[in-house]
């Protein structure tokens, strides 16, 4: 999922209601597939995107319910925000192209696992693991894969917890299992990721400047991680998991 600051508006948008037009698909796919193939696939494409939007609503609702419950049990909301997005047609096409795969609906469904994305922003790092565990404990959620970039950050300093999960969605003609990518971050991690994406991919930078920016961003990521840990320590003093018996 994109980390660009302007992506928040795009992430909460309902793409199935955008009614992806034939022209849009043609413009984004004309270098890979023929016009006849595009026209024959537009309706199926829209139906598929609608299904992914429904899967997003299922996952968002689960997180919203957990947040409401925990706000009563813990006297605070561990989830700061929930955002969602559908991968753009161009991104889907380019990803298949990089994999050396033909643009078919079957390949999209089976090979692209992050078409539907939900990003959950938590206040503290330990909230991330608790919320992820609570989601996976639900009997209609199946974990496909996960990557923990918090305990093992990327080389550039990126930190986040990623999961691909599968959830059932019920339609008029039956149930379908849909995959959704879930990213969980703290506010600080999300702040860094958003700015890193904007700064790193700014056009026109020479190699030396880009190397300096990369080093600065890595230092900032490490500093932010230290601040996250300090803030978590303060939270534990205010909301101890095992309060003294006489309190």
pLDDT of residue 15: 39
pLDDT of residue 168: 96
Q: What are phi and psi of 55, to 5 degrees?
A: -65, -40
82: Cα separation from own chain's centroid: 10
Mean per-residue pLDDT of the chain: 83
pLDDT of residue 215: 92
pLDDT of residue 17: 38
pLDDT of residue 38: 52
Tell me which of 130, 166, 181, 208 is the catalytic residue: 181
- Cβ atoms 228, 150 nearer than 8 A: no
Q: Summarize pLDDT for 23-65 with one digit per residue, the tens.
A: 455 455 544 555 455 545 678 888 899 999 999 999 999 999 9
Least confident of 100-109, 128-137, 166-175, 218-227: 100-109
Count other C-beta atoms under 10 Å from residue 211's C-beta: 11
Which of the pair, 60 or 235, is modelled with greater confidence? 60
**Which among 49-63, 80-94, 211-225 has the top mean pLDDT?**
49-63
Percentage, residues of the chain above pLDDT 90: 57
pLDDT of residue 65: 97
User: Measured between alpha carbons, how far is residue 191 from residues 106, 156, 168, 169, 217 in Å?
Assistant: 36, 15, 32, 32, 12
Least confident of 6-10, 61-65, 104-108: 6-10
Active site residue 181: yes
Question: In sequence order, which residues have a C-beta less than 8 Å from that of residue 122 and are 6 or more positions away?
Answer: 78, 79, 80, 128, 131, 184, 185, 186, 187
Q: Summarize pLDDT for 133-153 with one digit per residue, the tens.
A: 999 999 999 999 999 999 999
- Cβ atoms 209, 201 nearer than 8 A: no
**All domains in the chain, ordered by first residue:** 7-238 (3.30.460.10)
pLDDT of residue 211: 86
pLDDT of residue 20: 44
Which of the pair, 37 or 171, is modelled with greater confidence? 171
């Amino acid at each position: 999922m994109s980390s660009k600051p302007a992506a928040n508006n795009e992430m909460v948008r309902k793409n199935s209601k955008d009614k992806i037009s034939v022209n849009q698909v043609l413009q984004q796919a004309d270098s890979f597939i023929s016009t006849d193939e595009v026209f024959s696939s537009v309706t199926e494409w829209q139906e598929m995107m609608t299904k992914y939007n429904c899967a997003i609503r299922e996952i968002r609702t689960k997180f919203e319910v957990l947040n409401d419950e925990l706000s009563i049990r813990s006297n605070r909301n561990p989830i700061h925000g929930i955002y969602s997005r559908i991968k753009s047609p161009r991104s889907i096409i380019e990803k298949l192209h990089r994999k050396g795969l033909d643009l078919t609906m079957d390949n999209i469904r089976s090979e692209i696992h992050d078409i539907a994305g939900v990003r959950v922003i938590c206040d503290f790092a330990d909230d991330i693991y608790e919320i992820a565990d609570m989601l996976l404990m639900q009997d209609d959620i199946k974990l496909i894969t996960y990557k923990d970039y918090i305990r093992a950050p990327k080389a550039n300093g990126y930190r986040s917890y990623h999961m691909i999960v599968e959830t059932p969605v019920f339609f008029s003609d039956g149930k379908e299992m849909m995959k959704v990518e879930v990213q969980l971050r703290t506010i600080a991690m999300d702040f860094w990721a958003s700015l890193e994406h904007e700064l790193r991919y700014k056009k026109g930078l020479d190699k030396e400047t880009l190397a300096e920016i990369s080093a600065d961003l890595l230092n900032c990521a490490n500093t932010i991680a230290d601040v996250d840990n300090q803030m978590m320590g303060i939270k534990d003093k205010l909301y101890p998991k095992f309060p003294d018996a006489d309190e």
